[in-house]
Chains A and B, each alone.
Chain A
Amino acid sequence: MRASSSATRSIALACLALLSGPAGAAQLAASVTDQDGNPLADAVVVAVPLQGVALHPPSAGREIVDQINQEFVPRVKPVFVGTPVFFPNKDNIRHQVYSFSPAKQFELPLYAGTPAKPVVFDRPGVVVLGCNIHDWMIGYIYVSESPYFAKTGADGKIVLGDLPAQAYRVRAWHPRLQGPESATQQTADLVGSGRAELSWKLVLKPEIRIRRAPVPGMRGHY
C-alpha cells in the first residue's frame, strides 16, 4: 500500500527516478501496536529515503475527506504534500470545516454538498480538522513529505511495496501519540534483501476529545 492516489504515486515515482535513485522494487512491512500490545489502527507510517526525497511534484491526484453523520471520514487521512483534498458534506446540515494547524490554516465557510475548490495541503505536517458547528468533530490530515506512506488498518499493519531499493528513515505517527513523532524514527535498508519489517509499540496519551455523548444539563451545547 502506498500513497492512495495512483496518479500522485506515479508522478512522485517518476520524479524519484529522475533523481537517479536506486532501481528495483522493495517492500517494507510494518506493524504498530499500543503500549499494551494491541494492534493500533489509524497510525501513519512514513518512509523517507535517506538519499533525499523527490522534489515536490505538482499533484494530479485528489483526495477526499467526507463528513458523514457529523464525523470526518476517514478520521485520519495521510496525503502527499501538494495534494488537493475535497471535503464533501454528506450530512443534511451544513458544516464549516476549519484548521488552525501551522501546516495549513484554512476555513471553508458554512456549506452543503461539495465545495467547488479543494484545499491544497502544501506543507508537511499534521493538520487538525474541526467543524465550527459540531465541536466534537475532529479529523487529521497527515501531510507527508515523502510519497511512501500508509495508514494502518484494524490489524495495525501496513505494507509499502514497489519502493526503490535503498535505505529509509521510517517513522510512525498516531493522533494520540505521546511524545514527538521524531522519537519513533527507525532505519530500514532495503538494498540487500529488498524487504524489511519494522514494528512500533507506541505510547498513547488518553483521548480527551470534546465529548459528543450527552451530559445532563448541557444539551450538547445547543
Chain B
Amino acid sequence: MGNPTAAHAGSALALLALVAALALKWGEARADELFSAEGGVFHDNNLSRALSAADIVGDTALNAAASAGFLFAPGDRDIMTLTGDLRGTAFSRFHGMSSAALGATASWTRKFGLGAFAPWARISAYAADVWYDENVRNGWRTGVALRGGERVSERLDLSAGGSFERYRADSATAVVPGISGDAFTVLGRNLFARADYALAERWTGFGAVAGRWGDVTASTRIGPEIFEYSNAIAADPAFGSDYFAYRISGATTWEFLAGASYALGDRSSVNLAVSRALTYASGGIEYQSTRVNASLVFSY
C-alpha cells in the first residue's frame, strides 16, 4: 500500500469532487446555498474512556467546523441537502487526540403534510476522512441515520430516530501476538430522542437521550481487563507511551444531553450544553464521562 497520507488526501478529494459535481448539476435546478460554521471550546473529563481513576484523563479542546453546500426542493414535500464538511479539534494537553476531518453529508427530508407543524422524516448519510495527530487513530467515519419529528406547538419541537455508525481505522498494528490490533475500528447502533423548547423569544432549551449499542474503544495503562474482555488491542501514544487502546464489543452507552441556545440574530447563536455518558460492558466494565461544550454557531 502507498503512503497513507496521500491515500487519505486522495479519497477525501474524490469525495469532495463527487459532492461538487452533484452540487453543480443540481445547482442548475435552483439550489439554495447552505453554509454553517461553528467554533467553541469543550472539556471532557474522561477523554480516555478509562475505568480506573488512575487512567482517567480529561482535557479541554478548541473546535471549529464549517459546512457548505446546497439545499434543493425537488418536490412539494421534499427537501434535499448536500454539504461538504470540515472539522478540526485541538486539545490542550493530549495533542495526539487533535484531529481534522473532511467529509460530506447528504440528507433527504419528507414532510407528511403542509406547514411547519407537519410531521417529517429524514434519512441522512455522511462520510468523513479523519486525521489525528497520532495517526494510529486515522480512519473513515461513516454513518446513516433515520430521524423523524413533529413540531407540536410553536414552542415544542420533538424528534427521534436511529442510526448506524462505523469508524474504520486505516491501520491496525498488533501489539499482542494473536490479538487483533484493530482497536480503533468500531461499529455502533444508536437510538435517540430529542426535545427543543422555545423558552423565550431568543432562548431555546434542548434535551436529548440516546442509547448506543456496539463497540467502544477505551484507553488505559496495561491491565487485566484489556485481555479478558477486549477483542483488539493497540498502542495508544495519544495518551502516553504506556497507554493501550482496547476495543470492547457489546457495550451499551446511555447519553444524556441538556443545553441552552441564545439566538444572537437570525443566523447565529451562542450555546452551552452538558452531556453525560454512561457505558456498560460485560465483565462489570463501566465508565462515565461528562462533556461541557460552549459554542458559537453561524448559519447562512
A and B interact physically: yes
Chain A residues near B (Cβ < 8 Å): 70, 91-94, 96, 98, 100, 107, 109-110, 112, 130, 132-133, 135, 206-222
**Contact assessment for B266 and A210 in the assembled complex, using a CB-CB cutoff below 8 Å:** no
Given contacts A209-B154, A211-B263, A212-B267, 17 further A-B contacts (CB under 8 A): A92-B33, A96-B73, A107-B114, A132-B118, A207-B201, A208-B154, A208-B198, A213-B202, A214-B299, A215-B196, A216-B269, A216-B271, A216-B293, A217-B208, A220-B299, A221-B109, A222-B107
The answer to whether B285 has its CB under 8 Å from any CB of chain A is no
* B76 lies within 8 A of A109 (CB): yes
Q: Which residues 255-273 of B have a CB within 8 angstroms of A?
A: 257, 259, 261, 263-269, 271, 273
**Cβ of A113 to closest chain B Cβ, rounded Å:** 10
Other-chain residue from A93, A96, A213, A222 in contact with B263 (beta carbon distance below 8 A) = A213
**A140 CB to closest chain B CB, in angstroms?**
15
Roughly how many angstroms separate A216 CA and B296 CA in the complex, as a whole number?
A: 9
Q: Which chain B residue lies CB-closest to A220?
A: B299
Q: How far is the CB of B96 from chain A (nearest CB, A)?
A: 26
Instruction: Let me know if B274 is at the binding interface, CB within 8 A.
Output: no
What is the CB-to-nearest-CB distance from A103 to chain B, in angstroms, rounded to a whole number? 16
Contact A210:B269 (CB < 8 A) given known A110-B76, A132-B77, A216-B259: no
> Residue B30 at the A interface, CB < 8 A?
yes
Q: Chain A CB within 10 Å — which of B198, B264, B265, B268 has the most?
A: B198
Task: Knowing A132-B76, A213-B264, A214-B299 are in contact, say whether A100-B30 is a contact too (CB < 8 A).
Answer: no
Whether B204 and A135, one on each chain, are in contact in the complex, defined by CB atoms closer than 8 angstroms, is no
B41 at interface by CB-CB < 8 Å: no
Does B56 lie at the interface of the complex (its beta carbon under 8 Å from any beta carbon of A)?
A: no
Task: Assess the B116–A130 pair: CB atoms within 8 A.
Answer: yes
Cβ contacts B96-138/A at 8 Å (1 or 0 each)? 0000000000010101001110101010000000000000000
- List, sorted by A's number, 11 A–B pairs whose CB atoms are closer than 8 Å: A93-B30, A93-B31, A93-B32, A96-B73, A96-B114, A135-B151, A213-B264, A214-B36, A216-B293, A216-B297, A222-B109
Chain A residues closer than 8 Å to B76, beta-carbon distance: 96, 109-110, 132
- Give the distance in Å from the alpha carbon of A188 to the alpha carbon of B41 in the complex: 60
Contacts of A217 in B (CB 8 A): 194, 206, 208, 257
| Given contact pairs A135-B116, A208-B155, A222 touches B36 in the complex (Cβ within 8 A) | no
Say yes or no: is B75 at the interface (Cβ < 8 Å to chain A): yes
Q: How far is the CA of A133 from the CA of B80 in the complex (A)?
A: 11
Complex CA distance for A211 and B38, rounded to whole angstroms: 18
Q: Quick check: A132 and B265 within 8 Å, CB to CB?
A: no
Query: Which A residue sits closest to B118, measured CB to CB?
Result: A132
How far, in angstroms, from A219 to B116 measured CA to CA in the complex?
A: 16
B91 CB-CB contact with A under 8 Å: no
Min distance, Cβ B200 to any Cβ of chain A, angstroms: 6
Q: Verify A94–B114 contact, CB threshold 8 A.
A: no
Contact of B273 among A206, A213, A216 (CB under 8 A): A216
Of B77, B273, B299, chain A has the most CB atoms within 10 Å of the CB of: B299
Answer yes or no: B81 CB below 8 A from chain A CBs. yes
A130 contacts B267, CB within 8 Å? no
- A222: which of B38, B81, B201 is its contact (CB, 8 Å)? B81
In the assembled complex, which residues on chain A have CB atoms less than 8 Å from the CB atom of B151?
A: 135, 210
A212 with B266: CB separation less than 8 A: yes
Chain A contacts for B264, CB-based, 8 A: 213
Q: How close is B56's CB to chain A, nearest CB, in angstroms?
A: 26
Assess whether B287 is interfacial by the CB under 8 Å rule.
Answer: no
Interface positions of B from 22 to 80, Cβ below 8 Å from A: 30-34, 36, 38, 71-73, 75-77, 79
Q: Which residue of B lies closest to A70 (CB)?
A: B32
When C-beta atoms are compared, the residue in chain B nearest to A131 turns out to be B116
Measured between C-beta atoms, what is the minimum distance from A183 to chain B in Å? 22
The reply to whether A91 and B201 contact each other, CB–CB distance below 8 Å, is: no
A107 to B76, CA, bound (A): 10
Chain A residues with CB under 8 A of B72 = 93
Pick the contact of B32 from A91, A96, A218 — CB < 8 Å? Answer: A91
